[in-house]
């Protein structure tokens, strides 16, 4: 995975659990979010853009920004890459609260609810976006509507980054799992998935599947659980994010299945995030469940692999995901040339998102999905159909990438995979932790 853009390993994220403010963060924002003139010299419009992309994503983003600059000599684009996770969102929130934020920023869509739209964020001018060739009809309805609050559009999706199935083509061919075109055969149901894992393991003499099971900041177990629970039709919270709606039989069913995989030695035991990448890179296992952002890692190693949607194990093709989206952080008196430049920038990035897709993310801008350059991009285009079945986090301030919910529930489900919790205990503990999160006030308050 691209550690800087999605879920970096290491203890810092847990230490920052729930952190949205602090003297150090405020000082950083004071320096980075200072009010700026609307021009960047020689009559050019100054446009400031904050994002959190590092690694391969950072390289792709830098190339896109250079291309934008070349095509827009009248705009002086200044970009800043900030530290992924809680530090980024702390700085972005404090900048918006002070009304002295950058013109454009990146936000994980599932975190929108916690960002007090209307107070920390300004809405997009849809007419202005349309002038630059981008309209609501250009996006999957579920992703577009998730960016709206009380009828106003506060987030415009750039992509969706779902969990997918990586597979070693050499191992899977020997296991009889590939079709005549070298793609993994359709897998439907838990028995078929279990047998596919077993077949891959028989080729290597080791567990056939690797997933993250432990670590200082374990979110892999959350991603896998969330995928299968969504496939079963389960929910955690009500549509407004105010009440717990856990379906205990479905949750227990999913967790029992995951525990069975561990107990029968079908998954690699006790492995953290970086360990999973290493195991699959070394050709030690045939199957790997993880986010699509590791495509560059395996491509660069020359590993014989491909990617597919997560199989329908529990009743649908749903896959846990989040979306990188563009937002307009709150500025006092937003408008004029800088605001128009911000809309032009967002529209250009979307219309050119085929370049962004090389890092594995599925473009949210639907016209890109039909571009020949994207369709020729393998394996990145192989799982594009998931865009209609992505399972975003429930709308709550404590949900979304790098969120309290990921860390809290990830730790609970990790216990199931490594044998320190029973599935029944995990259901009870997950409910208890969700209750605590619901009772914790949003550090940024409610929307205006």
Structure tokens at 336: 């004029």
Maximum alpha-carbon separation in the chain: 68
Q: Which pLDDT value is given to residue 100?
A: 82
> For the chain, what is the domain count?
2
Question: Do residues 397 and 416 lie in contact, with contact meaning Cβ atoms separated by under 8 Å?
Answer: no
Distance CA(252)–CA(179), nearest Å, equals 34
For residues 203 and 304, membership in a common domain is answered with yes
Distance CA(161)–CA(184), nearest Å, equals 21
CATH assignment at residue 418: 3.40.190.10
For residues 308 and 434, membership in a common domain is answered with yes
pLDDT, mean over the chain:
89
Question: Do residues 401 and 108 lie in contact, with contact meaning Cβ atoms separated by under 8 Å?
Answer: yes
For residues 112 and 212, membership in a common domain is answered with no
Residue 342's nearest CA partner among 44, 42, 49 is 49
Q: Which pLDDT value is given to residue 225?
A: 98
Cα–Cα distance list, 49 to 34, 79, 85, 346, 438 (Å): 13, 5, 17, 10, 32
Mean pLDDT, residues 259-274 taken together:
97
263 band by pLDDT with thresholds 50, 70 and 90 = very high
For residues 225 and 354, membership in a common domain is answered with no
For residues 257 and 351, membership in a common domain is answered with no
Residue 398's nearest CA partner among 448, 426, 433 is 433
Greatest mean pLDDT range, 97-101, 257-261, 333-337: 257-261
Mean pLDDT, residues 283-309 taken together:
96
**Residue that terminates a domain, selected from 347, 371, 387:** 387
Q: Which pLDDT value is given to residue 136?
A: 98
**330-369 confidence digits (pLDDT tens):** 998 899 999 999 999 999 999 999 999 999 999 999 999 9
Cα–Cα distance list, 93 to 114, 115, 153 (Å): 10, 7, 18
For residues 37 and 97, membership in a common domain is answered with yes
Does position 441 have pLDDT exceeding 50, yes or no? yes
**186-237 confidence digits (pLDDT tens):** 999 999 999 999 999 999 999 999 999 998 888 999 999 999 999 999 999 9
**55-65 confidence digits (pLDDT tens):** 889 999 999 99
Domain presence at residue 191: yes
Q: Which pLDDT value is given to residue 424?
A: 98
CA atoms within 13 A on the CB side of 433: 19
Range of the domain at 346: 12-160+323-387
What is the signed CA dihedral for 192, 196, 198, 202, rounded to 10 degrees? 150
Which residues partner with 289 through β-bridges?
Answer: 165
Distance CA(296)–CA(358), nearest Å, equals 8
34 band by pLDDT with thresholds 50, 70 and 90 = very low
Domain presence at residue 353: yes
Q: Which pLDDT value is given to residue 99?
A: 78
Domain presence at residue 176: yes
Mean pLDDT, residues 99-124 taken together:
91
Percentage above 90 pLDDT, the chain:
79
Structure tokens at 233: 């039709």
Please state the three-class secondary structure of 217-244 as a single string. Answer: CCCHHHHHHHHHHHHCCCECECCCCCCE
Q: Which pLDDT value is given to residue 401?
A: 86
For residues 354 and 253, membership in a common domain is answered with no
Distance CA(173)–CA(194), nearest Å, equals 17
**DSSP per residue over 175-223, as a string?**
TT-B-TTSPBPP-BSHHHHHHHHHHHHHHHTS-SEE-----TT--HHHH
For residues 430 and 362, membership in a common domain is answered with no
Does position 21 have pLDDT exceeding 50, yes or no? no
Residue whose structure tokens are 């150090």: 24
Distance CA(402)–CA(22), nearest Å, equals 18
Q: Which pLDDT value is given to residue 37?
A: 43
pTM above the 0.85 mark?
yes
Mean pLDDT, residues 372-380 taken together:
96
Q: Which pLDDT value is given to residue 40?
A: 56
Does position 50 have pLDDT exceeding 80, yes or no? yes
Local structure of 22: helix, strand or coil: coil
12 band by pLDDT with thresholds 50, 70 and 90 = very low
26 band by pLDDT with thresholds 50, 70 and 90 = very low
Q: Which pLDDT value is given to residue 8?
A: 35
Q: Which pLDDT value is given to residue 41?
A: 61
For residues 16 and 145, membership in a common domain is answered with yes
Does position 325 have pLDDT exceeding 50, yes or no? yes
């Amino acid at each position: 995975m691209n550690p800087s853009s999605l879920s970096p390993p290491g203890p810092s994220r847990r230490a920052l659990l729930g952190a949205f403010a602090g003297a150090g963060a405020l000082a950083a924002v004071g320096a980075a979010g200072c009010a700026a003139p609307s021009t960047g010299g020689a009559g050019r419009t100054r446009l400031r853009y904050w994002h959190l992309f590092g690694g391969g994503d950072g390289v792709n983003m830098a190339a896109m920004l250079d291309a934008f600059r070349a095509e827009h000599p009248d705009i002086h684009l200044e970009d800043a890459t900030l530290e992924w996770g809680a530090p980024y969102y702390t700085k972005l929130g404090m900048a918006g609260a002070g009304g002295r934020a950058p013109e454009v920023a990146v936000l994980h869509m599932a975190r929108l609810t916690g960002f007090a739209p209307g107070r920390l964020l300004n809405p997009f001018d849809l007419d202005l976006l349309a002038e630059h060739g981008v309209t609501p009809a250009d996006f999957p309805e579920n992703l577009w509507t998730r960016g709206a609050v009380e009828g106003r559009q506060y987030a415009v999706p750039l992509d969706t980054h779902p969990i997918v199935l990586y597979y070693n083509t050499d191992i899977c061919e020997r296991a009889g799992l590939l079709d005549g075109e070298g793609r993994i055969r359709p897998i439907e149901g838990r028995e078929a998935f279990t047998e596919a894992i077993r077949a891959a393991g028989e080729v290597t003499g080791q567990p056939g599947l690797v997933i993250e099971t432990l670590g200082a900041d374990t979110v892999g177990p959350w991603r896998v659980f969330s995928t299968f629970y969504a496939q079963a039709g389960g929910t955690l919270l009500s549509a407004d994010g105010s009440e717990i709606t856990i379906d205990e039989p479905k949750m227990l069913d999913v967790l029992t299945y995951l525990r069975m995989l561990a107990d029968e030695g079908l998954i690699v035991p006790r492995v953290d995030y970086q360990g999973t990448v290493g195991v699959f890179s070394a050709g030690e296992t045939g199957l790997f469940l993880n986010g699509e952002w590791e495509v560059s890692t395996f491509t660069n190693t020359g590993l014989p692999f491909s990617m597919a949607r997560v199989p329908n194990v529990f009743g649908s093709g749903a896959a846990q995901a989040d979306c990188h989206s563009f937002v307009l952080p709150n500025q006092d008196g937003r408008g004029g040339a800088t605001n128009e430049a911000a809309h032009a920038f967002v529209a250009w990035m979307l219309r050119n998102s085929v370049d962004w897709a090389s890092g594995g993310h599925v473009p949210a801008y639907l016209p890109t999905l039909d571009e020949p350059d994207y369709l020729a991009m393998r394996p990145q285009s192989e799982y594009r159909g998931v865009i209609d079945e992505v399972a975003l986090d429930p709308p709550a301030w404590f949900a979304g990438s790098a969120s309290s919910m990921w860390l809290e529930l990830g730790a609970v489900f990790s216990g199931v995979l490594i044998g320190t919790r029973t599935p029944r205990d995990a259901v009870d503990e997950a409910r208890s932790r969700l209750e605590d999160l619901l009772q914790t006030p949003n550090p940024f308050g409610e929307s205006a």
